[in-house]
């Protein structure tokens, strides 16, 4: 004892000397230099030594004093899982985490911000303060950024576990699903499987056995394909437990035996192996096969040196031992062991272990002739199972109601909620009727508004189209009239004047009159192309292009098919006008050296295409300046014959205009 006190005194003195040295160094040297020296001492020290923890705590305080908050956060995160014996106090870890979090606005990395809250949540989780843990996991999720997706998934996963312990089926399942989606996107199949296992346990906890069984069967297949017998056995074991709760005892035995056939594992997992053996022992004890009960219990007992804590704290082992004593008729020993099993089950807060312990304890009191105690225990069992049933029923209803809202599983939710609906059917029917009426009124109002707006726009568009077409028609009629007046009136007058001048032999005046008559005829032709009526669209187009070729420097080429009798007069006129105006645009704006015109018929459509090699333009930039490009009239003309127009132009490349009329 004196030697022990001497050793402890030496260790304490060493800590005090080092702490004093640290403090003295802080006073005598530059703070930044001292921090570096302290970091060097920390890195050189043995991790498990108590002095290493002292260094780490001082590094945290020094970095905070120097406002090195990123460094402080890094050291605090190291401290959470550091093995040094001097910093294992959960209260110390929680205090330092909160201290670092108080400076989170000064931290540069989202990863550090989120991890501080994640570790604080874990601290609360270990202390079974699940409300605080859930809140901190939520804060961690908010502080992580998109690049921290793996930590976000962990936060959802752990928060799902905390909500599981709180009995929040819906919230826990939602968090598990979020975590699963992220792990799946990251292709982290190992953690996808872990989440699936957690979801199966959560379903089982609330007696939603069919969903749990689906997940476990899928996991069993996955682990078998991965040649992972240990995880296969764990899923078989968990499913066997569910079969037992449902009274499916034959399936329970088969799954337990399948799990046992996979043992021993490589590497050995004595805990899992012993749990399988103990469950088999309990199964055969409950079904009257004492020989196999003893056999499996002894096999489990042989593993106790590898997992000694099972013998004193594990309710499965204590229950198996009590059940074996009960099967052998040793009711007094069975009673003591059943009480120990009940205490262990209460500490573990495991519902199934508590129910088994209560049941066995009641049986032992009854066989010992202590009827009053047996009645008291069974009453507690009834109260406990009733409370579990009520809680599970309410939570299960909430879960299926959520499914109804999100996945419209009407039949499933109606089956689960028919008792509640029987009570509130009238009120719900009224509310549904009001809701549906309001919904349909809103929808009807929106539909009527949109329909009227659509009709108004359609009418407006039709009026604009009719106006444009009437305007074009009137323009053509006015052109015909002016052309005729020029030709028949002014043209005849000029010819008479020319004849009189010829009689007087005034050649100069005669030449001027010839020029005036030629220009007059050109104007009359442009106003109303007589060639179009006499020769048809194709010849009129060729003559127009010949004129352009003669009178300008542009190189003109064409491919014009004979379209005689194919188009209506109105369609021929509009296409001819389109050709005139398009060529006029080329001459005015394009700065082109070459022009190409194509007139052809393909199937039930006639296409006019005008191409030039001019400067072109960016049509997207000129969209709002459509009219100034001289294109609006072209669009209206082609629309008047139910045709379509296509423009293709790029700066420095040229322009192509295509007009299609369907015959």
Contact predicate 194/222, CB 8 Å: no
Residue 105 has pLDDT above 90, yes or no: yes
Confidence grade of residue 610 (pLDDT, cut at 50, 70, 90): very high
Residue 620 has pLDDT above 90, yes or no: no
Residue 8 has pLDDT above 50, yes or no: no
d(CA 478, CA 142): 74
Contact predicate 239/213, CB 8 Å: yes
d(CA 638, CA 478): 20
Percentage of the chain lying above the pLDDT 70 cut: 76
DSSP H helical ranges for 528-647:
530-535, 537-551, 569-585, 632-640
Residue 629 has pLDDT above 60, yes or no: no
Confidence grade of residue 450 (pLDDT, cut at 50, 70, 90): confident
| Range of weakest confidence among 424-433, 473-482, 590-599, 606-615 | 473-482
Find how far residue 480's CA is from the centre of its chain: 67
Q: Which residue has the higher pLDDT, 347 or 290?
A: 290
**Parallel, antiparallel, or unpaired for β 654-662 and 605-612?**
antiparallel
Beta bridge partners of 657: 610, 647
Top mean pLDDT of 276-290, 553-567, 579-593 is at 276-290
Beta bridge partners of 559: 598
pLDDT given for residue 427 in this prediction:
73
In the chain, DSSP finds a helix count (H) and a strand count (E) of 27, 5
Instruction: Tell me the mean pLDDT in the region 95-115.
Output: 94
Percentage of the chain lying above the pLDDT 90 cut: 32
DSSP per position, 43-93: HHS-TTSHHHHHHHHHHHHHHHHTT-HHHHHHHHHHHHT---GGG--HHHH
Quote the mean pLDDT of the chain.
Answer: 80
Specify the pTM.
0.53
Beta bridge partners of 609: 598, 658
The single-letter DSSP state of residue 587 is I
Residue 465 has pLDDT above 50, yes or no: yes
* Helix/strand/coil for 489: helix
Instruction: Tell me the mean pLDDT in the region 52-73.
Output: 92
Residue 581 has pLDDT above 90, yes or no: no
């Amino acid at each position: 004892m004196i030697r022990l006190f001497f050793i402890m005194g030496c260790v304490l003195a060493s800590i005090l000397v080092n702490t004093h040295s640290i403090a003295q160094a802080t006073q005598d040297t530059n703070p930044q230099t001292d921090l570096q020296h302290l970091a060097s001492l920390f890195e050189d020290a043995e991790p498990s030594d108590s002095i290493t923890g002292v260094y780490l705590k001082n590094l945290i305080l020094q970095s905070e004093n120097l406002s090195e908050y990123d460094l402080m956060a890094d050291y605090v995160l190291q401290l959470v899982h550091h093995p040094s014996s001097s910093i294992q106090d959960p209260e110390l870890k929680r205090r330092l985490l909160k201290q670092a979090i108080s400076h989170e606005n000064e931290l540069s990395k989202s990863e550090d911000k989120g991890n501080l809250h994640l570790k604080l949540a874990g601290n609360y989780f270990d202390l079974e303060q699940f409300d605080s843990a859930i809140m901190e996991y939520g804060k961690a999720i908010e502080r992580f950024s998109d690049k921290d997706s793996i930590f976000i998934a962990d936060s959802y996963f752990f928060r799902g576990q905390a909500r599981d312990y709180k009995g929040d089926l819906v919230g826990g399942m939602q968090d598990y699903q979020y975590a699963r989606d992220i792990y799946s996107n990251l292709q982290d199949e190992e953690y996808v499987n872990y989440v699936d296992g957690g979801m199966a346990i959560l379903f089982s906890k609330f007696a939603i056995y069919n969903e749990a069984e689906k997940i476990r069967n899928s996991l069993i297949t996955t682990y078998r394909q991965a040649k992972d017998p240990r995880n296969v056995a764990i899923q078989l074991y968990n499913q066997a437990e569910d079969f037992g709760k449902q009274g499916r005892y034959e399936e329970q035995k088969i799954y337990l035996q399948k799990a046992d056939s996979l043992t021993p594992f490589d590497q050995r997992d004595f805990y899992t192996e012993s749990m399988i053996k103990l469950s088999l022992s309990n199964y055969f004890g409950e079904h009257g096969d004492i020989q196999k009960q003893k056999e499996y219990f002894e096999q489990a007992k042989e593993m106790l040196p590898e997992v000694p804590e099972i013998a004193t704290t594990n309710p499965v082992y204590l229950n198996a031992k009590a059940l074996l004593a009960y099967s052998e008729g040793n009711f007094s020993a069975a009673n003591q062991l059943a009480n120990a099993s009940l205490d262990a089950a209460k500490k573990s807060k495991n519902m199934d272990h508590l129910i088994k312990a209560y049941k066995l304890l009641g049986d032992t009191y009854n066989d010992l002739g202590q009827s009053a105690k047996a009645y008291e225990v069974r009453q507690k069992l009834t109260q406990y199972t009733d409370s579990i049933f009520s809680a599970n029923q309410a939570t299960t209803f909430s879960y299926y109601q959520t499914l109804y809202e999100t996945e419209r599983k009407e039949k499933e939710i109606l089956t689960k909620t028919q008792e509640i609906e029987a009570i509130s059917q009238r009120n719900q029917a009224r509310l549904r009727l009001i809701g549906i009426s309001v919904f349909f009124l809103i929808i009807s109002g929106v539909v009527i508004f949109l329909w009227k707006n659509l009709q108004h726009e359609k009418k407006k568009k039709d009026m604009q189209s009719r106006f444009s077409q009437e305007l074009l028609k009137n323009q053509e009629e006015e052109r015909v009239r002016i052309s005729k007046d020029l030709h028949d009136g002014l043209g005849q007058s000029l010819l008479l004047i020319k004849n009189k001048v010829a009689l007087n032999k005034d050649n100069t005046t005669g030449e001027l009159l010839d020029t005036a008559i030629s220009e007059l005829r050109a104007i009359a032709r442009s106003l109303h192309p007589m060639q179009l009526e006499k020769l048809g669209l194709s010849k009129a187009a060729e003559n127009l292009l010949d004129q352009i070729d003669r009178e300008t420097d542009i190189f003109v080429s064409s491919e014009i098919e004979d379209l005689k009798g194919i188009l209506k007069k109105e369609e021929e006129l509009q296409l001819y006008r389109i050709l005139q105006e398009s060529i006029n645009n080329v001459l005015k704006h394009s700065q082109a050296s070459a022009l190409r015109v194509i007139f052809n018929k393909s199937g039930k459509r006639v296409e006019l295409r005008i191409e030039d090699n001019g400067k072109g333009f960016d049509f997207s930039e000129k969209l709002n300046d459509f009219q100034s490009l001289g294109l609006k009239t072209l669009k209206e003309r082609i629309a008047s014959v139910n045709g379509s127009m296509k423009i293709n132009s790029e700066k420095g490349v040229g322009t192509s205009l295509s007009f299609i009329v369907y015959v």
